[in-house]
Amino acid sequence: MNKTIIAVGILGAVLGLAVLLIAGAPVQGSSSPAPALQGGITGSGDTINFQGQLYDNDGTPVAPGSYGMHFVICRDGGNAVNCQASAEWSRYFTGAEAVTVDGEGLFSVLLSGIEPQVFVDDDGIARDRYLMVEVWDAGSSNWDWMQPNQQITSMALAIGYIRKYHVESSNQSILTVINSADGRGITGQSNVGIGVYGASNTSIGVYASGGQHGVYAENSPTGVYGSGSGYGVYGYSPPAAGETYGVYGGNGSTTGGGGYFWADNSDGSAFGVRGRSDGSSGYGVVAHHYWYGTGLGVWSYGGDIIRGYKRDYPNEQDLRVKVDNGGNVYAYSYNYLVGQEQGFLYTMGSPGMWAEDFGTATLANGLVTVTIEPLFADAVSLTVDYHVFVTVLGDEPVLLFVSAKEPEEFTVRGVTLDGKPADVSFDYRIVAKRLGYENLRMESIPVESPPPKEP
């Protein structure tokens, strides 16, 4: 008794993406065509759930019972002989494992032990395979071939192979996924591990490009984790109109940040973030706070908080400004520039770390003791020698003398030219060493020769 099998669905676990399409098998002797065979492959593992309907050659569903079946996955699906000769996987269901068929000829069988490399040729490229089904005919004691063999597309099945094993490709790309619709090329999701993982010994682990986002990752706590001998994560936005970003990170939480970059090495000069701009009016790094917070916050546990250099990175011989861990500010250009409408104001240079203050005092009966302003006194060292300069205010000549200098005050005496005590006002200028820098003088800074000018 000849039979015809119609597959009503194949649900498998050889891979987790794409759709598996198999050509339909016509009903022999039936007045109406059989439905086309279409199934989907989902899940993970090495099992396909094959569901079908078994007919006699007159189109009538076979009697319910147990039927022996033989399934073969092969490379050459031209006929039964060629398929047997190029078989990649084969399984008999007989005896106690015979397939149960119901009153409408419907059955379901799990085809297990199908390794993903079944669908990959020796050159590492996934190609189409064919599924051949044979049913044991007890009357003729033969295996009836349910022709034709049904084609299984290969592209999606290669993904399972990549996931479980290893594929080498001579054309640089193991897998290319293109979605022409307004959707996603690849969606990677993991509740406990990694959604998408890419690794490369010499080039790029994961390369993604898109009209809007190259990579969009959302996860808790890590959206994207990248590592490599070159770049952990590399994002590039081709030149285009409007404001675009090579890498964009966002954060909707009240804590944390849009991005976190960490140089995990306590030695050397590795950096957490490096910004570069080749634009004539651009910025290497821009820090922008939209509301009332701080544009740029900088923390340093033990080193300098800020250092600014001239020329190109990583040159560190042209230090121009720094803020050390104690909050002291150094400007090594020796010119503080204060912007004015018509020009600039400059500060004088000094070989030592000096600070100065100014004031006016008046002699009473030729004598006055001036108290040094407390805030200024706290910022300078007055226990070592400091300087006081005085200038008489008035029309008559008077001789002034700084007769005593103490940590909190200094004393000025004055007489007229005939030796009488003077009662006049005078300006004074006090100059003292910065506290903690009393011995600093002409600190040596290495300076390299300037590079030659480009034509």
pTM: 0.39
Structural element, H or E, at residue 379 = helix 374-379
Over residues 58-78, the pLDDT tens digits come to 778 888 999 999 999 999 988
As separate numbers, helices (DSSP H) first and strands (DSSP E) second, the chain gives 3, 24
Residue 198 has pLDDT above 50, yes or no: yes
Residue 378 confidence (pLDDT): 92
Write the CATH number of the domain with boundaries 3-162: 2.60.40.2060
Residue 3 has pLDDT above 80, yes or no: no
Over residues 291-316, the pLDDT tens digits come to 778 889 899 888 898 988 888 888 87
Any idea where the domains of the chain sit in the sequence?
Answer: 3-162, 354-434
pLDDT interval class at 23 (50, 70, 90): very low
User: Residue 413 in contact with residue 364, Cβ under 8 Å?
Assistant: no
- Residue 211 region, left (φ>0) first, then alpha (ψ -120 to 50), else beta? alpha
User: Residue 228 in contact with residue 200, Cβ under 8 Å?
Assistant: yes
Instruction: Tell me how far CA of residue 231 lies from CA of 35, 186, 203, 245, in angstroms.
Output: 52, 22, 9, 17
Q: In this structure, what token pair is assigned to residue 354?
A: 């000096």
pLDDT interval class at 155 (50, 70, 90): very low
Distance CA 121, CA 125 (A): 6
Of 411, 421, 415, 385, residue with least CA distance to 397? 415
- Residue at 420: amino acid letter: K
User: Residue 49 in contact with residue 8, Cβ under 8 Å?
Assistant: no
Residue 38 has pLDDT above 80, yes or no: no
Residue 162 confidence (pLDDT): 45
Buried b / exposed e along 257-281 (16+ C-beta atoms within 10 A): eeeeeeeeeeeeeeeeeeeeeeeee
Distance CA 322, CA 443 (A): 14
User: Residue 76 in contact with residue 47, Cβ under 8 Å?
Assistant: no
Q: In this structure, what token pair is assigned to residue 236?
A: 């590039």
Residue 450 has pLDDT above 70, yes or no: no
Q: In this structure, what token pair is assigned to residue 450?
A: 């300037």
Distance CA 336, CA 184 (A): 54
The DSSP letter of residue 160 is H
Average pLDDT over residues 417-440: 93
Over residues 353-407, the pLDDT tens digits come to 899 999 999 999 999 999 999 999 999 999 988 999 999 999 989 999 999 999 9
Counting every residue written for the chain, the total comes to 455
Pick the residue with more confidence: 398 or 221? 398
Pick the residue with more confidence: 383 or 159? 383
The DSSP letter of residue 85 is H
What dihedral do alpha carbons 321, 324, 330, 333 form, nearest 10°? -20
